[in-house]
Amino acid sequence: MATVTQRKPGVYKAQYRAPDPSKAGKLVQRSFTIHASTKREAQALADERELDERRVHVAPDQYATVGDYLVHWSDNRPDTSKGRPPAPKTVARDKQYVNVIKRHVGSVRMRDAGKGTFDTLVAGLRADGYSDRTVKNTWSCLKKALREAWRNDLIRDDPSAKARAPHVAKTEAAYATLEDVTECAGYLTGHMGRPDLAVFVRLLFTTGCRPAELLAITWSDIDYDANTIQIDKTVTEAGGFQVRRETKTDDSTGTVDYAPSIDAALDDLHTTHLRTKADRGLHWNPEGYVWPGVDGLLPVRPTSLGRRVRDALRAIGADHLTLYSFRHGSATYMLEAGASVKEVQDHLRHSTAQLTADTYLHVTERLRERKRSVFDGV
């Protein structure tokens, strides 16, 4: 049974002995803090944790090498801090990183993993010619996996504790201007015969939505009277193309405003949708997606739509832009028009104003310099 002592009201310290896999199952002392309203509740929680550790004992040689453990970790990802399973896109991306990590440090024994493991990985990735961003993301993937192994007592120490993350120079995000939006929408309509994609580009810019969020909306999500769109879904191509009934974060779910000038284009698009449904039958696009795919069962794939928009951007001489550039452009346009960082945070549905300020620091610094120059002659 665990020993529980009260440190202060509502806070207890629990101690017990449990097998340590890194020491061939030898019993070692464990201690942790419990927040509980009574000592009886704290004792029950401590006893439950002790029994769990004694019951789930992993043999020390089950994952002899880093490569072995990474394969297990990528196939059995733990839930996030919010108690949700990781997004399929995150799981698929981390599996790609795991394959790269295995080539460089996969043969390192788990008991020998340490700061040198991370240094070897970074050196190998840079020698292979990977970008600084990819090197940092791969390093972070290894950190997540080994820290999870440490928390589960598969290794004695946290190997990432003394490892320094590789530096990534902060670059200014490419953003679309109002002129870019107008030209791109005009080219999509006039030269490519895709007025539906022109509406998509204009909505990206005016709402500041993520492309995957906007692709998931249905006609029932649009309120023409209030000029709003309900955002509560997103699409993903990881793990099989699908529509997820949740957004990137809890703060991303909500209602966004769009410009009333887009109403006419949306009406035309809805009319075309109804005409197509009448021709193909009620089984086509039963969910009522605004941008349905060929079969109508799911929205059009983001990669497919993105290729067509990039073709239009190249044609107008804006090949440095991507779909996400319209979201960045929306925030930049608001800031240059005098909106506060808090207003832009609400517009983009960022979790914190600090995230917005850090992302668009280049814009706020440019505006600050412009403001100073106004008073140069004083």
pLDDT score of 376 more than 70: no
Cα 185 to the chain's mean position, in Å?
28
pLDDT tier at 373, thresholds 50, 70, 90:
low
For the stretch 239-259, pLDDT in tens is: 666 777 677 777 778 899 999
pLDDT score of 311 more than 60: yes
Helix, strand, coil: what percent of the chain each, to 5? 55, 15, 35
For the stretch 215-231, pLDDT in tens is: 999 999 999 999 999 99
* The pLDDT of residue 189: 94
Compare 251 and 321 and report the one with higher pLDDT. 321
Q: What tokens does 327 get?
A: 């979201």
* The pLDDT of residue 371: 60
CA distance 178 to 15: 62
Mean pLDDT value across residues 80-103? 83
* The pLDDT of residue 269: 94
Compare 252 and 198 and report the one with higher pLDDT. 198
Closest CA to 72 of 95, 105, 92: 95
Mean pLDDT value across residues 91-119? 91
Distances in Å between the Cα of 50 and the Cα atoms of 143, 197, 239 are 27, 58, 36
Strands (E), 9-85: 11-20, 26-35
Compare 168 and 27 and report the one with higher pLDDT. 168
CA 281, 283, 289, 292 torsion-angle sign:
negative
Least reliable range by pLDDT among 24-33, 110-119, 158-167, 189-198: 24-33
* The pLDDT of residue 96: 92
pTM, two decimals, is 0.67
pLDDT score of 52 more than 80: no
* The pLDDT of residue 202: 96
Which of helix, strand or coil describes residue 65?
strand
Mean pLDDT value across residues 355-366? 74
* The pLDDT of residue 215: 93
For the stretch 135-177, pLDDT in tens is: 999 999 999 999 888 877 778 778 888 888 898 877 667 889 9
State the average pLDDT for the chain. Answer: 85
Mean pLDDT value across residues 226-238? 87
Q: What tokens does 198 get?
A: 């022109």
Q: How many residues does the chain have?
A: 378
Could you give all domains of the chain from N- to C-terminal order, each with its CATH number? 3-55 (no CATH), 66-151 (1.10.150), 178-368 (1.10.443.10)
pLDDT score of 57 more than 60: no
* The pLDDT of residue 252: 79
Q: Are 89 and 44 in contact (CB under 8 A)?
A: no
* The pLDDT of residue 368: 67
* The pLDDT of residue 159: 84
CA distance 143 to 160: 6
- Of all residues in the chain, what percent carry a pLDDT higher than 70? 86
